[in-house]
Amino acid sequence: MSKLVIVGTVAFDAIETPFGKTDKILGGAATYIGLSASNFNVDSAAVSIVGGDFPQDYLDLLENRNIDIEGIEIVKDGKTFFWSGKYHNDMNSRDTLVTELNVLEHFNPKVPESYQDADVVMLGNLHPAVQQGVLDQMTKKPKLAILDTMNFWMDIALDDLLSVIKNVDVITINDEEARQLSGEYSLVVAARKIHEMGPKYVVIKKGEHGALLFHNGNVFYAPALPLEEVFDPTGAGDTFAGGFAGYLAKTGDYSFENMKTAVIYGSTLASFCVEKFGTERMQNLTDKEIYKRLDQFKSLTQFDIELT
């Protein structure tokens, strides 16, 4: 069985959308990535940090989804990373109300020894120096290293980001971030420039408008499934990344053709994530539900046309 290392935040979120609001609930990039990847029966480990205020029930939830938590450091006298945000009516934009780094401020990731030879490494959204620190702990070069990042790191740690980007195979970012990183408005040109920075594959997420996969001049587009209701977009990008990484770890096929399928799986799982607040929908997702929605994706995108 392939090993997958997932690095990112395990955290508390408090979310407000036009549909309601929550108190502190389970969140964090590594949480969403892990729950999503757990649908593929891969040997995964989460590498993160939490405080003594983090409930054992949440750790048990991850373990019950076969996510190894040895790499989650618990600082007994510290507090867990906390983020609070409010979404606007269009659900595409949000305001950050509170960010408390707490124990994350001094996070020094420690990859468990048994996972230092992992085939796939999924570097969730963190300081790029931390992401590089994880790659440095691997005893052999991963078959696939995937990096997620955001515009915040482009603003304050661009040199570190460009350095770690050289060492990964895939980068996943949204359209706004791709434009900022490349300095180009056209996403096709932006992807080409980012490709020249190091990654063989560039995935550009466009939220409700789907995702694009670029590789050596080839482009693949996956739409987002039209949904009747979107309650909470938090974690959708991380859920996409978890589905993408989990499928590739399961199949061990890192070709462009197989990455197309990985993008579809990522989009499918992200479509579930937004249906309830936080991780609630992802906690009890079944294979039957996933396959039914994959079939919907197939129907959405498949057609016959006679070219004359």
Residue 117 among the catalytic residues: no
**Residue that is written with structure tokens 């509170």 in the block:** 98
Give the angle 207-213-214 at the CA atoms, nearest 5°.
Answer: 135
Which one-letter DSSP state was computed for residue 4? E
> Which residues neighbour 232 within 8 Å (Cβ) at sequence distance 6 or greater?
15, 17, 19, 87, 274, 276, 277, 278
CA dihedral of 244, 248, 254, 256, whole degrees rounded to 10:
-40
**Residue that is written with structure tokens 């931390």 in the block:** 130
- Percentages helix, strand, coil for the chain (3-state, rounded to 5) are 40, 25, 35
Which one-letter DSSP state was computed for residue 77? T
Q: Among residues 53, 169, 238, 295, which one is catalytic? A: 238
Which one-letter DSSP state was computed for residue 230? -
Measured CA to CA in angstroms, residue 230 lies from 76, 256, 276, 288, 294 at distances of 36, 30, 8, 21, 18
**CA atoms of 137 and 196, how far apart (whole Å):** 25
Positions marked catalytic: 238
